Structure 1
Amino acid sequence: MDYTAYSDVEEGRAVVSTSVVRFTGVQARPKTDLLAVEEPLEIQLGYSSSGQRLTKSISVTMRTPGHDCELASGFLLTEGVVNDVIDIADMHYVGDSAPRDRNQSAILEIESGEERNTILPYQPGRNTLRVELNPEVRISMANLERNFYTTSSCGICGKASLLALRTVCPPRTANRFSIEAALLYKFPELLRSTQDVFLRTGGLHAAGLFDAKGALYSVREDVGRHNAVDKLLGAALLADQTPLRDRLLMLSGRASFELLQKAVMSGVAMVVSVGAPSSLAVRVAKDFDIILVGFLREDHFNVYHGIEHLTGYIEQGGEIHHEITN
């Protein structure tokens, strides 16, 4: 199966125009503004159980259309449903006249003569995506639903969330990632410069994968920060690049438990965010040995775990401890 067929970039559905009144001081003038599109995506799972082929809806998320197959794949990876690209047999939109040809690109073709960013009309059937697992993949729907609940960290204690994550996470090897501290300062601008929809709308989160030399490999955007990460990690899964032991995950916002959970499940070695980490995110970083950096700005950042993996810095103001306190 050619998994490159699932890049499904529908740029025309990512933005829409609207009329606004722009105020400058007390002067008002009509203008046209661009908005990031937000639409629901239902993810359905096709799987085998007791000799039967079953279908179940497992998630509905509000997302920016585009990269939907990557979003679904990343979600299934980070929730422990799939571990490898070979677990996925097929993906198609429910409502399509026929499943997608595995040998054709899923990129939406825009008619000749139109610009790449032309606003496309709403397309019925493009908001429900079915992921068909290979028959050999065994899942327990009861365990699956319980994992979705416990790893969401909503309404339960952090201890239960960490326990659930330890239960479903794949084996992790020793973290051997190392990076020069000064390189981190370049990442926010590199990430912003590739955010096409954000530059036009100012309304999207982004996630990017970097290597230890500071090279940016891929970027994904979405109105939901979790979705941006799922799209990014799903692209890596479909390209058979996981686990991402030699990659750094850059976040345009804060680092929450859920995002560190996704880093754990994909094998990411380091997470860097421009915002603050939560207390539970720091716990995950410590428990699973993920290098965690927060509050990355033009001239400063905080290291919450993994200082020994950074090089090229000068210690000032006392001894720097390699382990943070609880």
Structure 2
Amino acid sequence: MGRVTTRVRRTRWDVEADARLERPDTVAVEEPLEIRVGEEPLTTTMRTPGDDFDLALGHLLTEGQLHSATEVARLMHCTDIGEDGLPTYNVVEVTLAAGASLHTPPRARTEAMTSACGVCGSASVDDVRTRGRFAVADDPLVLDPAVVAGLPDALRARQPVFERTGGVHAAALATAAGELLVVREDVGRHNAVDKVVGAASREHELPFSATVLVVSARASFEIVQKAAMAGIPAVVAVGAPTSLAVDLATQAGITLVAFTRTPRFSVYSRPDRLSS
């Protein structure tokens, strides 16, 4: 498996003191991951190495291309070799179970995915408005405001790569009581979510009813889209929401919470799930 962090040279300047300091620094690794189904390339995304199988599986589920982890027979790293002659582990090959096939074709893109955005380069907004299979609007989830306010702090306590680098996002799947079931980190916020969904799908079938998706970043369209595709009825974000995220959350019936920092947060859709 590739490295999650690496050491680089850094020169730190102090303008007021007219001084500079040479020292090594720890940064998050960013490398491409190509996901193949059979021998056919499906997509390439920039990610932090680690939990690659969760990422590949979660991507297929949140894109609606698979409906269950049971549709996958095997996940393996291809033996691609880097310039240094060592394996890169930057290609995951997905072998589908007997009788299984992709439910939808790959989303049309004009460029490869980056770690910054899961839907950038899509041919149109309509192309990413995948119809979800789950009625998340009917989910009976009830949330305690005190629990919601504390979720980012609980997530922050389980971000070891961020602690070392300050350069990765995190996502978690939490219960209504605030227990974090799965936590994953990645340079890409959408990758972190895919890793969480992929990991959780190994233990539980979709939909992930009565759960909360917690993200360390802003609440963007692709984050809400992935929640809807996984049947998650609530999203809690540390950062701001986007207009399209609010629109989608409202249409899908997802409780969208943003600007979440103890003891305050803002709710942009379905506030009725918050207990008074």
Same fold (TM over 0.5): yes
Say whether 1:42 aligns with 2:34: yes
Letter in 2 for 1:36: A
Secondary structure at 1:71 match in 2: helix
Verify the 8 A CA contact 2:134 2:207 in the aligned structure 1: no
Say whether 1:87 aligns with 2:78: no
Counterpart-to-counterpart distance in 2, 1:122 and 1:287: 50
Verify the 8 A CA contact 1:220 1:229 in the aligned structure 2: yes
Q: Which among 235, 247, 260 is matched to residue 199 of structure 2?
A: 235
Aligned length: 264
Say whether 1:215 aligns with 2:157: no
In the TM superposition, what is the alpha-carbon distance from 1:21 to its structure 2 partner?
A: 2.3
What are the ranges of 5 or more consecutive residues in structure 1 without an aligned counterpart? 1-9, 47-54, 98-120, 313-326
Counterparts of 1:305-320 in structure 2 under 5 Å?
305-312=269-276
Q: What TM-score do you get using the length of structure 2 for normalisation?
A: 0.88
Verify the 8 A CA contact 2:172 2:181 in the aligned structure 1: yes
Verify the 8 A CA contact 1:153 1:257 in the aligned structure 2: no
Secondary structure at 1:311 match in 2: coil
Say whether 1:15 aligns with 2:13: no
Counterpart-to-counterpart distance in 1, 2:122 and 2:191: 21
Q: Which among 245, 260, 273 is matched to residue 237 of structure 2?
A: 273
After superposition, the Cα gap between the structure-2 partners of 1:32 and 1:279, relative to the gap in structure 1 and judged at 3 Å, is same
Verify the 8 A CA contact 1:152 1:161 in the aligned structure 2: no
Other-structure match for 1:321: none
Verify the 8 A CA contact 1:74 1:234 in the aligned structure 2: yes
The structure number with the bigger radius of gyration is: 1
Say whether 1:134 aligns with 2:97: yes
Letter in 2 for 1:45: V
In the TM superposition, what is the alpha-carbon distance from 1:153 to its structure 2 partner?
A: 6.5
Other-structure match for 1:144: 105
Counterparts of 1:1-326 in structure 2 under 5 Å?
10=1, 13-24=3-14, 25-26=16-17, 27-46=19-38, 55-95=39-79, 123-139=86-102, 143-145=104-106, 147-149=107-109, 152=119, 154=121, 158=125, 160-161=126-127, 164-166=129-131, 169-172=132-135, 174-312=138-276
**Percent of aligned positions that are identical:** 39
